[in-house]
Amino acid sequence: MPILPITLCGDKILRKKAAKVTIVDNEIIGLISSMFETMRNANGIGLAANQVGADKKIFVVDISAVEGNEDSKPLALINPKIIAKSEETTVFEEGCLSIPDQHADVIRPKKITFEYQDTDLNTQTLEADDLLARVMQHEYDHLMGILFTDLVDEEEKKRLKKPLSKIKKRKVEVAYPTSTSSDYQIL
């Protein structure tokens, strides 16, 4: 499957709520496969469909390369929704393939329960905590048009302003293919 260009902050598709998937055909299966390849090529552990220019409510996660998570299985979630969150929160430094080389502490619920559909459009439920919960929430936010930089305090937003401007203008070196226009979209 082909490696796809990753959209960058400032690209319009990253700010729109993703469209629900109503059928899973060869095009969607190919997209999911390409998303896994694209994510791994960029050394990521999660990727939302709009990050590769697809207006689809899909994200993929594979945290098995992270120490302590070697037994984790790759996941593809279609039409995910959060159905429960813990009151307990954790702070962790997040980054994003659409915001290269920028990181900031983000507060998120420690545990989360998702309802989603698998590639047969069967409804599944998944409870996650720690790193998996964080990555899934981060990718879910993408599908809602939210970036991790929206969730940081005002001081962090000020610190990120200049680097984000450079990324939007595509004046950064990135080690993986990226979109060439803020209007980039494949599906």
Instruction: Tell me how far apart the alpha carbons of residues 30 and 137 are, in angstroms, rounded to a whole number.
Output: 24
CB 129 within 8 A of CB 113: no
Residue 128 pairs in a beta bridge with 112
How many whole angstroms from its chain centre is CA 48? 4
Given phi > 0 = left and psi -120 to 50 = alpha, else beta, which region is 47?
beta
Active site residue 139: yes
Instruction: Tell me how far apart the alpha carbons of residues 150 and 152 are, in angstroms, rounded to a whole number.
Output: 6
CB 98 within 8 A of CB 14: yes
Q: Which two tokens stand for residue 40?
A: 């791994």
Residue 185 pairs in a beta bridge with none
Given the residues 27, 67, 127, 139, select the one marked as catalytic.
139
Short-list 130, 46, 53, 117, CA closest to 86: 130
Active site residues: 139
